[in-house]
Structure 1
Amino acid sequence: MSKMVSDEIPQANRIEHAGVDVIAESARHGHPHSLFWPWCAANVAVLAVSWGGYVIGFGINLTQALLVTLIGVVASFLLVGLASLAGQKGSAPTLVLSRASFGIKGNWLPGLVSWLLLVGWETSLCALAALSARTVSERLAEGSGDVAAAVALVLVAGSGIYYGVLGFEAIMRAQRWLTIATLALTAGFIALTMDEVHLGAAFDQPAGSTTAVIGALVMLVAGFGVGWINCAADYSRYLPRDASKAGIVGWTTFGGALPVVLLAGYGLLLCASDPALIDQFYDDPIGALTPMLPTWYLLPFIAVALLGLAAGVIIDIYSSGLTLVATGIPIQRPVAAALDGVLMTIGAIYVVWFAPNFLVPFQGFLITVGVPLAAWGGIFVADLLLRKERYDEVKLFDESPQGYGVANPTAIVIMLVGTVIGWGLVTNSLASWLTWQGYLLGPLGLGGKSGDWAYANIGVLVALAIGFVGYLVLCGARVRAQESKELALTSP
């Protein structure tokens, strides 16, 4: 089977049609530093401030929390940086390159998991945008909440669909301006709330236990970058073959980690100064921040919240469209992005106006799906590191034994094993029908479902590790065999 190649050079004012296609040499362009903008924009969200409360909630002091946040967030996005190398190495979307480890048909499993998670988080972000606008609007003018929610949903969902359909170049340009605008408005928020920080009280807290520190660290690593691995190559696949690998990893990691470290770090200062904020962040992260602000800054504040959420939706909807196409469904990339946008909008409308109590359990479901995605992420990164040569662009579309095959049962079993063990090491109290998770915390002596490890999401990292180590050990020979055949075919 011949490979699918796109020599289209994407333009900001034209719809990109490249889907599962390998990007031709003539269409590759750009520099690694361009990766800073999409990853920074997608993570500059004031909701990251609330993570300061979640970290302090483990019972550690401010010094410990600041170190844990820096190390955990950077380590988390380093995984995204490493996965971004696959885009340069294969010049195809992430879930197309995943065929090398799972086979063409076997890739349906991670493809389905990835698509569900992306569309789910798109829906969740849109619903959060509408609910946040309603909260702020009601403080400004009682009874105006529903109108504000509708406007916010139109803006966030509309921007996601618009840029998701237009494609790569339009997104890269938009994310640059979204980053600049959001950082400027966020700086205003910090300047106006600095009087809430009391460094004397913030640093006057006893140190937490080693278990608590590790638990907070694990939560941070699992909570950010792991959920972005399935998008990583989508934004690096247009880079030239000779682009700096260190630059790709570095700029991706820096772009994703910088805003989270700053915003979560500021949240740490706020919560260490006033521990009552911790519970408020759990209940309503946006509502907890608005009382700190003067009334005149509420509109800029909701603007920064909506811009950050919109940037996340744009990243997700573009990748969800590519993922849907990568599963083999006969649909064009722009149509797939539009379809996902329609599903996202319908879901957000349902959550905001018909089932407001559904958002929390729905997020619990997304966290549950995140465990198999982590197992896949470990496999994907391991496969990438095992390959000394580039992905074979023809074999990505070839189900025969000479290609990447129909399915790799070993990779599928590793992913399933990682999922089962991972679910046993996470707790999920966001819905009554998800409380079955965490069944290994007690038998393994980790304190059960209410112990120190209960809310660390250690199962996400365990699933990632099982995927990574399992694939290295059990599939290394498969990768070497694939590459030896490739070298034999290309030898004179």
Structure 2
Amino acid sequence: MTQSQSAPNSTSGAIKVESNGVNAVSEADRYGKPSGLFPIWFSWNVSILGLTYGIYVYSLGLSVWQSISAGILGYLISSFLVGILAVGGPRTGLPTLTQTRFCFGYHGNKFPTLFAYISNMGWKITIITLASTTGAYLFAKLWPAAFALTNGKPTLFCIVGWFIISLALTMAVAIYGHQLIMKVEKYIAWITGFMSLIFIALILPHIHWQALGHAKSGDLLTYIGGIVMAMTMVGLGFLNYGGDFARYLPRKTPASKVIFWTTGGISLPVSILLVLGVFLADSNSALSSAAASAPIEALTDLLPFWFYIPFSIVIIISLLSAAITGVYSSGLALLALGIPASRAVTTAINALIIGFGAFYLMFISNSFLATFQSFLASIAVVIGPMGAIQLVDFKRQRDLGWNINLANKAGMGGCNGRWTALISLGLAAIIGAGLITSGDPYIAHLVGFLLTENARHSVFATANLGVIVSMFVGASIYYVLTYVMKIAHPYSNPSDSNSEIPDGQEQWVAK
């Protein structure tokens, strides 16, 4: 990709379809400040889903204060990891799933990238499904004669119609790319943040304050399980694209600022909403049960009708904002896999996959919570170790001067596969999958194979602590192989640590 084809500098005014794919963004096309990362992540996470996350953490069997502290701790830890990985964006100009080629090799990177893509798409299916059902329930209440069944639920036509609208809006913005996303997300952050404050004020009267704090405290393993659940719901799912939105920042942007604004944008809104969700769950057991099957509807039913209408619209906007950024990164993931197509075509492929996934979630799955938790834990045993191994490898990448030649094939500055990283990831993923359980009957057959029958019902298994075990195993094995045993891999130019983009390099790098 030549420099003339790169994304336009933000100072040019006009917004154009982004032409950059998985190539390195040249220094001439870098713009913005690290504080611009905050609204991207804030608008993604200032969603009513944040309340349901609090309800889910509480449902593990923790007390109020255990749930709050475990949830916030899990958010901060996982968000901080995302922030660290995001630093690779400005240092290389590459999206995260291209930079991981440094660690896993050009072809070896396709294995973790495939799972990262599945993770991205699973989140998008969940988010767009929730946006669609929220819009459908809104229409069912406003015009029951046309859009509601006799039991008050929306008709199939209404749900499908809203799904098509939600998917079309998401794809339209995602295809335009980075520049439009950065502008749109700023406005969405302000709107959703303001409406969320009103929502909190209206929800507070539904908390039975006199009933708070009566739940029994959970044991240590359950508490750690709450931390793990919080990590899988918020931060771990973002590990594979933290750098996608930071790569347009100038190369010498301070790492501390990238980490600070990324961590804050992710953890601040969900932490506030988690506290409210825990309070609601502790004082209203019926709400916890309802949120397990229909999280959005269970919470919006508490609102007065005059606010229910505008807030439902804001919920849809906030969910779609999260879907937009995720679909954008999913398109980059397909390109990193080597799909010979433009970013616009990969976005269209994503639309088809989301359609099939949403059909399962809306019409086949019996429990949103069971499927959601099972998906998060199952995919985290691959994504978690992948991020942990990449973090360990950051020292090596820094010592090599963040040389973007390492993202290429053997013979062009990189290598095709790094077995040290792949073995570490493979062993960690197998061990992690064998130590978790699933509430979804279909996913349950694929996990828990290292557990005895009694262990399957233990707190260790049900709290999915195997996710943390997999991250520790992957990082430890890779650390020993790389820094203790000092196993190196051959590169085309191992002595070339020049991190600048040589003239003409942007025509072939990372494709």
Whichever residue aligns with residue 107 of structure 2, its letter is K
Query: Retained in 1: the 8 A contact 2:292–2:369?
Result: no
Corresponding residue for residue 203 of structure 2: 193
Corresponding residue for residue 403 of structure 2: 392
Shift of 1:336: 1.7
Residue 471 (str. 1) matches residue 478 (str. 2): yes
Corresponding residue for residue 313 of structure 1: 323
Corresponding residue for residue 328 of structure 1: 338
What is the alpha-carbon distance in structure 2 between the residues aligned to residue 135 and residue 369 of structure 1?
30
* TM-aligned CA distance change 1:121 to 1:204, over 3 Å: closer
Shift of 1:46: 0.5
- Helix, strand or coil for the counterpart of 1:457? coil
Corresponding residue for residue 353 of structure 2: 343
* TM-aligned CA distance change 1:192 to 1:287, over 3 Å: same
Corresponding residue for residue 430 of structure 2: 420
Decide which of 124, 127, 143 is 1:125's aligned counterpart.
127
Shift of 1:351: 5.3
Deviations 1:411-446 (A, max 9, x none): 111111111111122111112452452233449xxx
Shift of 1:197: 1.5
Alignment coverage as a number of residue pairs = 484
Shift of 1:190: 1.3
What is the alpha-carbon distance in structure 2 between the residues aligned to residue 404 and residue 141 of structure 1?
60
Shift of 1:256: 0.5
Deviations 1:112-153 (A, max 9, x none): 112222223222322222223334443444351235434532
Whichever residue aligns with residue 256 of structure 1, its letter is I
Corresponding residue for residue 508 of structure 2: none
- Helix, strand or coil for the counterpart of 1:323? helix
Shift of 1:479: 6.5
Q: Greater CA deviation, 299-308 or 97-106?
A: 299-308
Query: Retained in 2: the 8 A contact 1:60–1:206?
Result: yes
Deviations 1:135-189 (A, max 9, x none): 4443444351235434532342122211111000101111111111111222222
How do 1:191-270 and structure 2 match up within 5 A?
191-270=201-280
Corresponding residue for residue 374 of structure 1: 384
What is the alpha-carbon distance in structure 1 between the residues aligned to residue 310 and residue 463 of structure 2?
34
Task: With the length of structure 1 as denominator, give the TM-score of the two structures.
Answer: 0.90
Shift of 1:10: 5.0
Whichever residue aligns with residue 15 of structure 1, its letter is V
Q: CA RMSD in A?
A: 2.8
Q: Greater CA deviation, 197-206 or 377-386?
A: 197-206
Q: Greater CA deviation, 12-21 or 229-238?
A: 12-21
Corresponding residue for residue 80 of structure 2: 78
What is the alpha-carbon distance in structure 2 between the residues aligned to residue 334 and residue 347 of structure 1?
20
Deviations 1:247-287 (A, max 9, x none): 00010000001111011111011112223322222122122
Query: Retained in 2: the 8 A contact 1:442–1:448?
Result: yes
Corresponding residue for residue 163 of structure 1: 173
Decide which of 141, 144, 150 is 1:142's aligned counterpart.
144
Deviations 1:85-107 (A, max 9, x none): 11122111111111111111111
What is the alpha-carbon distance in structure 2 between the residues aligned to residue 16 and residue 199 of structure 1?
51
Q: Greater CA deviation, 409-418 or 359-368?
A: 359-368
Deviations 1:225-246 (A, max 9, x none): 1111111111111111221210
Corresponding residue for residue 42 of structure 2: 40
Whichever residue aligns with residue 43 of structure 1, its letter is N
Corresponding residue for residue 19 of structure 1: 21
Whichever residue aligns with residue 455 of structure 2, its letter is G
- Helix, strand or coil for the counterpart of 1:42? helix
What is the alpha-carbon distance in structure 2 between the residues aligned to residue 163 and residue 282 of structure 1?
31
Residue 92 (str. 1) matches residue 94 (str. 2): yes
Percent of residue pairs identical: 28
What is the alpha-carbon distance in structure 1 between the residues aligned to residue 315 and residue 460 of structure 2?
31
What is the alpha-carbon distance in structure 1 between the residues aligned to residue 77 and residue 234 of structure 2?
10
- Helix, strand or coil for the counterpart of 1:67? helix
Query: Retained in 1: the 8 A contact 2:87–2:255?
Result: yes
- Helix, strand or coil for the counterpart of 1:331? coil
Task: With the length of structure 2 as denominator, give the TM-score of the two structures.
Answer: 0.87
- Helix, strand or coil for the counterpart of 1:394? helix
Whichever residue aligns with residue 449 of structure 1, its letter is R
What is the alpha-carbon distance in structure 1 between the residues aligned to residue 2 and residue 105 of structure 2?
15
Query: Retained in 2: the 8 A contact 1:222–1:458?
Result: no
How do 1:401-412 and structure 2 match up within 5 A?
403-412=413-422
What is the alpha-carbon distance in structure 1 between the residues aligned to residue 498 and residue 215 of structure 2?
64
Query: Retained in 2: the 8 A contact 1:156–1:313?
Result: no
Query: Retained in 1: the 8 A contact 2:377–2:467?
Result: no
Shift of 1:460: 1.8
What is the alpha-carbon distance in structure 2 between the residues aligned to residue 45 and residue 219 of structure 1?
18
* TM-aligned CA distance change 1:453 to 1:293, over 3 Å: same
Whichever residue aligns with residue 86 of structure 2, its letter is S
- Helix, strand or coil for the counterpart of 2:325? helix
Corresponding residue for residue 29 of structure 1: 31
Query: Retained in 1: the 8 A contact 2:293–2:368?
Result: no
Whichever residue aligns with residue 175 of structure 1, its letter is E
How do 1:100-111 and structure 2 match up within 5 A?
100-111=102-113
* TM-aligned CA distance change 1:347 to 1:54, over 3 Å: closer
Residue 460 (str. 1) matches residue 467 (str. 2): yes
